Structure 1
Amino acid sequence: MAKIGFIGLGAMGLPMARNLLARGHHVCGHDASPRAIQAWVDAGGAVAPDLADLVAGADVVITMLPSGPIVLDVFERGIWPYARNGQVFIDCSTSGVPSARRLHVAAAERGHSMLDAPVTGGVAGAEAATLTFMVGGDAKVFESMKDVLSAMGAKLVYTGGPSTGQAVKVCNNMAAGIIKIAISEAFVLARKLGVEDQVLFDVASAGSAQAFALTRTCPVPGLVASSPSSRDYRNGFATSLMLKDMILAQEAAMSAGAPTVLGGAATHLYQLCAGAGLGDLDNGIVYQYLLGQQQG
């Protein structure tokens, strides 16, 4: 079993680290939040006094942090100075393509193995170890890390060379964000035309508009009991996080010279939602925002 250093014990990182522990790996954790550290200790995890100690004692170092700039800063100040030959570094954060490229370059310059491995599946997937990993980097390193990654996820997808894991993640989330808005607009229009929500749902869910964002995370309350919209938009994928991913997709599109007209429009709408104080609620709240605009 591997000796793993896990940096970032938040809503996603904590259950991921717990699942590694449950699989029999030795896991030493670190987080800037005392509350997160206590939750990790309560789960039976070991704690490193600082990053230098964590990195020195690990074969594999995993990061699960809020943003690309934070990831880069942690690597620059807390990981690279203490890294040694033979270690593997895996960034599971949604840090964006440019950040992933910088990490891979820095790792190569120092002779270290690096994988960018963002995930999809949310907190529920992290808890149940059913996450999907999108993994970019050297194929042999990916193969060597399958046992570690499979302890946290049910599906491991090798996406190609360095930064392609992040590329797939931002493309997937951009599409998901656009689709959520399209479904929300359809329900707002149907309501304005005198069609009941359930009627449109019954038709769309069995027809060409069927989508995860309709049948699993429907933005209209009361149609799907397990959807965050039926729990006052709580415990879902926050609008602020969706906005972050949409911005990452736009940054990647600009650097690649790829037109993303709908992606740009969707990003603007999520910015409006966040600006209206809805950032902490599930991104399906965009339906309520659009409904309010129509009613206004």
Structure 2
Amino acid sequence: MVITMLPAGPHVLKVYSEQIIGAAPSSALLLDCSTIDVETARKVAGLAKAAGYAFADAPVSGGTAAADAGTLAFMVGCDEGDFARVEAALAPMSRITIRAGDHGAGQAAKICNNMLLGISMLGTCEAIALAEKLGLDPERFFEIASKSSGQCWSVSSYYPWPGPVPTAPSNRDYQGGFATAMMLKDLKLAQDAAAKSGASTPLGAQAEAMYALFDGLGHGGRDFSAMLQMLRGQLSTLETK
């Protein structure tokens, strides 16, 4: 078995075409857990399949905490007959492994999921900033939003205000977690995919612009929930990372 996690599509294509395909035993299961564009994932799958390999694109969700706990979620694109083998290989690291469809579908699922996450985090941050301006304690707002129609993962599991969710990066000065620069990368992938497919994603485009601004101000290494401090006008509380 070969498992890879690389920064971008060109790296994946280069590593598989020059270092793995033809070098690994033909019986090896090839799993790419990078987050890349759908087209490159399908191209690499085609090269691997032509050489006799079982291949899957299997991007991952869950962040550093889930990685440490072995509770990651994998979104898999592969031939249906290969999925049981893929699922077994990922089981030690996985809380859930879902076959999204054929080759490239794992990347499509990851791109769409992270666009949704990026948008929902911005909405959460905006709501907290407004609540504060209106004199509502952000911790009390958590009690309300987490139990009403505003409930979402960004509120209940990753609240960007310190206190209510002890494991959230907001309690560690927004260190660790999911870096703003990584969210920006995924949103760029989503916008590229939207342009190529003709999909309308105006909120995704706005989210990309917001995270690009935050990254450009020197906060790309901060967890993406630190966007709250920019919306509060409190960037001075963050050291440039």
TM-score calculated relative to the size of structure 2: 0.92
Pick aligned residue for 2:8 from 57, 64, 67:
67
Aligned to 1:96: 37
Aligned to 1:274: 215
Aligned to 1:207: 148
Structure 1 residue 133 and structure 2 residue 46: aligned?
no
Alignment of 1:149-164 (within 5 A): 149-164=90-105
Q: How far apart, CA to CA, are the structure 1 residues paired with 2:50 and 2:23? A: 15
Q: How far apart, CA to CA, are the structure 2 residues paired with 1:196 and 1:148? A: 46
Structure 1: stretches of 5+ with no match in the other structure: 1-59
Pick aligned residue for 2:47 from 86, 103, 106:
106
Do 1:98 and 1:252's aligned partners in 2 also have CA atoms closer than 8 Å? Answer: no
Pick aligned residue for 1:219 from 148, 152, 160:
160
Aligned to 2:239: none
Structure 1 residues 176-211: Cα deviation after superposition (integer angstroms, max 9, x where no partner): 000000010111112222222122212111100111
Alignment of 1:239-250 (within 5 A): 239-250=180-191
Give the letter for the 1:292 counterpart. Answer: G
Structure 2: stretches of 5+ with no match in the other structure: 237-241
Q: Offset of 1:143 from its aligned partner?
A: 1.3
Do 1:117 and 1:136's aligned partners in 2 also have CA atoms closer than 8 Å? Answer: yes
Q: Offset of 1:294 from its aligned partner?
A: 10
Do 2:59 and 2:75's aligned partners in 1 also have CA atoms closer than 8 Å? Answer: yes
Secondary structure in 1 aligned to 2:221? coil
Alignment of 1:245-264 (within 5 A): 245-264=186-205
Tell which structure's C-alpha radius of gyration is larger: 1
Q: How far apart, CA to CA, are the structure 1 residues paired with 2:235 and 2:167? A: 27
Secondary structure in 1 aligned to 2:233? helix
Q: How far apart, CA to CA, are the structure 2 residues paired with 1:76 and 1:136? A: 19
Structure 1 residues 137-189: Cα deviation after superposition (integer angstroms, max 9, x where no partner): 10111112322111221211111111001111111110000000001011111
Structure 1 residue 196 and structure 2 residue 137: aligned?
yes
Q: How many residues align?
A: 236
Give the letter for the 1:186 counterpart. Answer: A
What's the RMSD between the two structures over aligned residues? 1.7
Q: How far apart, CA to CA, are the structure 2 residues paired with 1:76 and 1:222? A: 48
Q: Offset of 1:86 from its aligned partner?
A: 2.5
Structure 1 residues 63-120: Cα deviation after superposition (integer angstroms, max 9, x where no partner): 1122222212211221124244332211011122122111112223323221001111
Q: How far apart, CA to CA, are the structure 2 residues paired with 1:273 and 1:279? A: 7
Aligned to 1:290: 231
Secondary structure in 2 aligned to 1:154? strand
CA distance 1:135–1:294, shift in 2 (3 Å): closer
Q: Offset of 1:236 from its aligned partner?
A: 0.9
Q: How far apart, CA to CA, are the structure 2 residues paired with 1:208 and 1:271? A: 29
Pick aligned residue for 1:118 from 51, 59, 68:
59
Q: How far apart, CA to CA, are the structure 2 residues paired with 1:204 and 1:95? A: 34
Instruction: Give identity over the alignment, percent.
Output: 43
Give the letter for the 1:136 counterpart. Answer: G
Pick aligned residue for 1:181 from 122, 129, 138:
122
Higher relative contact order (CA 8 A, sep 6+): 2
Do 1:174 and 1:245's aligned partners in 2 also have CA atoms closer than 8 Å? Answer: yes
Give the letter for the 1:150 counterpart. Answer: A
Structure 1 residues 249-291: Cα deviation after superposition (integer angstroms, max 9, x where no partner): 1111112111101000000000001001110010001111111
Greater CA drift, 203-212 or 107-116: 107-116
TM-score calculated relative to the size of structure 1: 0.76
Q: How far apart, CA to CA, are the structure 2 residues paired with 1:241 and 1:118? A: 13
